[in-house]
Amino acid sequence: MKDGKLNKNKILFYLSIFVYVCVFVSCGVRESDESAVAKVKNEQTIEKFVITETKDGKIKTILESDFAVINDDDKIAVLNEPRVKFYEDGKYKSLLVADKGEVDMDTNNIRAIGNCIVDTVDGEHLETTDVTYDANTKMIFSDSDIKITKDNDVIYGRGFESDTDLQNIVIKNERIIID
């Protein structure tokens, strides 16, 4: 009998420890879940993301992306395959396309990352690896290698600054290759 009571006491002791550990672990999981939920609350994903910038009723830019992940704390939207259409006096002037990008939701400044291409209505074609658009000055720029093609002319360089239709472009380190 004594052995039977001892075994029951041991079983109850181990069972109580098991229950205590389960309760302790589940409380820890709830805290982790709550912090994970708090992080998710500060971020949202939007499919078919579009921002249209206008001034005096005229379109200035239209930014489109298949989807965007917006960090509400930083006010930054991370974009997948962004396309930015630039307008001047309501007329379409150029298109910037990139692999990825970011837009500052407060300033509307855009940073295009990866393979970046700018095509203008005048037939100019710019290729680089990153482009930044300053919404305040309406200028685009980069410090990366660039290639600009118009008709049969090709200009290479490193770094540029320009208006969005590439009419007033300054190339920092220009190289011209003549065939």
Per-residue pLDDT for the chain (179 aa), expressed as one digit of tens each? 455 455 666 666 665 666 555 555 555 444 444 444 444 456 788 889 998 988 888 999 999 999 888 887 888 899 999 999 999 988 999 999 999 999 998 999 999 999 999 999 999 999 999 999 999 999 999 999 999 998 888 889 999 999 999 999 999 888 766 65
Q: Are residues 37 and 48 in the same domain?
A: no
Q: Are residues 78 and 131 in the same domain?
A: yes
Domain count, the chain: 2
Model pTM score: 0.72
Q: Are residues 96 and 143 in the same domain?
A: yes
* C-alpha span between 92 and 94 (Å, rounded): 6
Q: Are residues 56 and 27 in the same domain?
A: no
Q: Which residue blocks in the chain are alpha helix, DSSP H?
A: 2-41
Q: Are residues 37 and 49 in the same domain?
A: no
* CA distances from residue 76 to 13, 42, 105 in whole angstroms, order as listed: 54, 11, 6
Q: Are residues 37 and 69 in the same domain?
A: no
Domain span at 93: 43-176
Q: Are residues 32 and 49 in the same domain?
A: no
Q: Residue 60 sits in a domain of what CATH number?
A: 2.60.450.10
Residue 25: partners with Cβ closer than 8 Å, 6 or more residues away: none
Q: Are residues 105 and 55 in the same domain?
A: yes
